Amino acid sequence: MMSPSVRVEIDLHRIRRNAEQIAARVGVEVWATIKADAYGLGAAKVAQTLRDVVAGFCVFAREEATSIDLWNLTRRPAMTMGPPADLNPAAWLAAHVRPAVSTVEQAARLIDARPILCVDTGMQRFACPQPNIADVLQAGRIDEAYTHATRLEHAERLVEWLAPHHPPGQRIKLHAAASSLLDEPAALLDAVRPGLALYRGAARITAPLVEATDSTGPVGYTAWPSETGRHGVILAGYSHGLRPGPCLVNGRRQRLPEVGMQTSYVTLSPGDRPGDVVTLLGDDLIEADVAFAWGTSPHQTLMQLAGAGVRHYVEG
């Protein structure tokens, strides 16, 4: 659910700058991962912003590209990273999206859509195991292969396992690195597919205090002790994806000690008043800090908070 009280500010300049910095640093093609509506930040806006910086786009399913008319919006190709939902090459060609395949049947049926081989280097999920690589490559006359890599060894296996299969005088294009491997020169290969690294620092998510009061003893459902002696309330809760964790109020680090269904408590300092802005993400509060408190990944944190409120796009 979305809270009308939560403002999700998305800085498109920052996303573009992140992409430009990645491109300059890696020196190979950047394929921007915009799956899941660009991690909740809006795939159409992000794709438009990045079209001159990137070689193409990665989505999970073809529908994510067609639903925003990605080809006409950007004139850049796309690839899927999930299993193909259909084996009709014409639909893939019309969308300018190349399917990832992992079986001989998928490769053979989608041969006209120029399928890309997805190799299982450890993830053990819709990808081709090493012994089948030669058969799938041949069945789809495949010229590009990738792996879902979270560790350097995944990228190294991709290179090693594909080494015997490059046709004479040609090289199969290879890629592995997502955000976590952008600093590993050996993982960069022919292209990178960052998602999170494009979006870091680009979302600022806030809600105003609707109440601010001096606490008179333990507070809320769970009677939490008010260490600061003052607390407030925002109109967003776990139904909007919030969880107990850090926040900022008037430049000071505070906490959401208790999150209810549609409201959350905020610890406050003496001068904080109703109308003051509570920052749930952004300013000096980064995805990794909130993710640590939540015991989850920065990806999930961004996605969850980006869906908490109303989007506003800003430029710089």
Per-residue CA distances from 94 to 31, 70, 84, 266, 302 (Å): 20, 11, 15, 51, 32
Q: For ligand PLP, which stretch binds (CB under 6 A), given 71-79, 155-163, 192-200, 268-276?
A: 192-200
Mark 125-154 with x for binding to ligand PLP (rule: CB under 6 A) and - for no binding. -----------------------x------
Token pair listed for 228: 């600061």
Q: For ligand PLP, which stretch binds (CB under 6 A), given 173-181, 223-231, 267-275, 287-295?
A: 173-181
Rule CB under 6 A: say whether 98 interacts with ligand PLP: no
Site for ligand PLP in 256-315 (CB under 6 A): 299
Smaller CB separation from ligand PLP, 36 or 44: 36
Q: For ligand PLP, which stretch binds (CB under 6 A), given 10-18, 63-71, 174-182, 255-263?
A: 174-182
Token pair listed for 115: 């399928």
Q: Which of 22, 81, 119, 242 binds ligand PLP (CB under 6 A)?
A: 81
Q: In angstroms, give the least distance from the CB of 36 to ligand PLP.
A: 8
Rule CB under 6 A: say whether 194 interacts with ligand PLP: yes
Smaller CB separation from ligand PLP, 114 or 299: 299
Q: In angstroms, give the least distance from the CB of 197 to ligand PLP.
A: 6
Smaller CB separation from ligand PLP, 114 or 193: 193
Q: Which of 3, 18, 106, 179 binds ligand PLP (CB under 6 A)?
A: 179
CB atoms within 10 A of CB 291: 18
Q: In angstroms, give the least distance from the CB of 70 to ligand PLP.
A: 17
Q: Whole-angstrom Cα distance, residue 49 to residue 68?
A: 14
Give the number of residues in contact with ligand PLP, rule: CB under 6 A: 13
Smaller CB separation from ligand PLP, 149 or 285: 149
Q: For ligand PLP, which stretch binds (CB under 6 A), given 83-91, 137-145, 195-203, 288-296?
A: 195-203
Rule CB under 6 A: say whether 178 interacts with ligand PLP: yes
Smaller CB separation from ligand PLP, 197 or 308: 197
Rule CB under 6 A: say whether 195 interacts with ligand PLP: yes
The contact set with ligand PLP (CB under 6 A) reads 33, 35, 81, 148, 178-180, 193-197, 299
